[in-house]
Amino acid sequence: MGNFRGSKQIPVKAVVDEALEKTTTIEKVIVLKRTGESVDMKTGRDIWWSDSIAGQSSDNEAEEMDAEDMLFILYTSGSTGQPKGVVHSIAGYMVYTYYSFINVFQHEESDVYWCTADVGWITGHSYIVYGPLLAGATTLMFEGVPTYPNPGRFWEIIDKYKVNQFYTAPTAIRALQVFGLEPIEKYNLDSLKVIGSVGEPINEEAWHWYHENIGKGRCPLVDTWWQTETGGIMISPLAGITPNKPAHASLPLPGVQPVIVDAEGNELLGNNVEGNLCIRFPWPSIIRTTYGDHNRCKETYFSTYKGMYFTGDGVKRDHDGYLRILGRVDDVINVSGHRMGTAEVENAINEHPEVVESAVVGFPHPIKGQGIYAYAICNSSTKSNAEMESEIKAMVRKIIGPIAKPEQYNFSPGLPKTRSGKIMRRILRKVASKDVSSLGDTSTLLNPEIVQEIIKGAGLE
Ligand code: 7RM
């Protein structure tokens, strides 16, 4: 009926009710009592979980499925406005999450494993539920935030359940780093054997802090690179086997073939090269289709570079042959490990009747990795910037969710456009990162005078 997020209660049932008004195909909703607030139950449609399990037999024969039947759909953001429904299939996904789980984490029978992710995210699907359970592991689930009721929460849980493998995101590490060592020192972390990171590039400072203070310098740190579309971990050290190199996802899992290409699709061989990351051969848990639109799947992932899967990430292969993920090369922003398409956020902002046009870019954020910076061109003569800002926030929150709300706003009179009408995002990114010393060539702009206005709008004059 609802869930807890720190001290907050999220009214999930009300959100579901609203969403279901727009669909005709959902017949039943199972409701679990959790937060205790009263909810409206729709007769004939909504059933309490406790009623639905009462009187059920404990033996139920599993349904036999085809290996290629659909297992689940998970929606994810890309560089276009519409989120894509990533489809995974039964056998390949299960084989690969099991295989990657036991090898990356070096999980042994009777080990206790904990991934702090949300089960609704691909990380939760693959590495709280499927991978660990297929391996017969004891897997913990956590409902909450790292700092509630205090910043020792994670370390308390590790101590209490004697966690052996711990898997979290750089954004959580950075959020906890600011509280210093005191919240850690209260607890015994001796049970830990392996620590892991996922969701975004881990900066060197956070890597060292995590490795020294949580892993006590003795636990291998697995920096695991993968995507909703890959289903499972693709590039990562294997704990205790691959030598650790800070901030490097390191090497592909056995069977995975990463390829680095330049903008023209030429493969960059050898070490000390940087380019776009592709994968050459399919692997068991590769995305099967984008739900309802197979062509879109082909276009998005298999057309940019011929004969290869394109990840959307930039990568560097260093002098040792170790891979370091550099972040997205498309219009996707990664806020605390959540993927946000700029177009999706822009579409939500544009729903505001007084917004004429908008553009959204990422800026470096000390805890979230990236934050969202919004440029909005408005035609309101009566509303102040502060009013527009709070209305836009409410709009984005409603349409996409709280995580997509831009943090910074720039209400300048226009956007820098090329003669072909494309927004020059490079300039918007520089201004958003407060780096206006070298804006590069602006002479090809249709409206070069707007650059000064934007700098003024950012308060950087
Ligand atoms: C598992 C997950 C995928 C995007 C991906 C990257 C970024 C994820 C790492 C990483 C650097 C990592 N699925 N990303 N892991 N970047 N190092 N270890 O996050 O579909 O939500 O996001 O996340 O940009 O393309 S996801």
**Does the bond joining 353 to the residue before it have cis omega, within 30 degrees of 0?**
no
Cα 402 to ligand 1 centre (Å) = 20
Cα separation of 43 and 37, whole Å? 18
Residue 408, phi-psi category: left (phi > 0), alpha (psi -120 to 50), beta (remainder): beta
Cα 314 to ligand 1 centre (Å) = 11
Tell me the mean pLDDT per 10 residues along the chain, length 461: 83 93 94 89 95 92 96 84 90 98 97 94 96 98 92 98 96 90 97 96 92 98 97 98 97 98 93 96 98 96 95 95 90 90 88 90 94 92 91 94 95 84 84 88 82 92 79
Cα 201 to ligand 1 centre (Å) = 8
Nearest CA to ligand 1 atom 11: 201
> How confident is the model at residue 8, as a pLDDT?
85
Nearest CA to ligand 1 atom 10: 200
pTM: 0.86
Going by C-alpha positions, the residue among 155, 173, 121, 147 that lies closest to residue 366 is: 173
> How confident is the model at residue 270, as a pLDDT?
96
> How confident is the model at residue 397, as a pLDDT?
95
Going by C-alpha positions, the residue among 200, 219, 239 that lies closest to residue 117 is: 200
Which of 226, 236, 333, 338 is the best mutation target for the ligand 1 pocket, counting ligand atoms within 8 Å of the beta carbon and taking the most?
226
> How confident is the model at residue 2, as a pLDDT?
81
Residues in contact with ligand 1 by the CB-under-6-Å rule are: 76, 122-123, 197-201, 223-228, 249, 311-313, 325, 327-328, 334, 337, 339
Nearest CA to ligand 1 atom 13: 227
Cα 1 to ligand 1 centre (Å) = 30
Cα 412 to ligand 1 centre (Å) = 33
What one-character-per-residue DSSP string does 20-74 give? Answer: HTT-S----EEE---S-------TTTEEEHHHHHTT--S--PPPP--TTSEEEEE
First to last CA, the chain: 50
> How confident is the model at residue 28, as a pLDDT?
96
> How confident is the model at residue 443, as a pLDDT?
75
What is the torsional sign of CA 47, 51, 56, 60? positive
Nearest CA to ligand 1 atom 19: 199
> Residue 326 in 3-state DSSP?
strand
Nearest CA to ligand 1 atom 26: 227
Cα 290 to ligand 1 centre (Å) = 19
Cα 215 to ligand 1 centre (Å) = 22
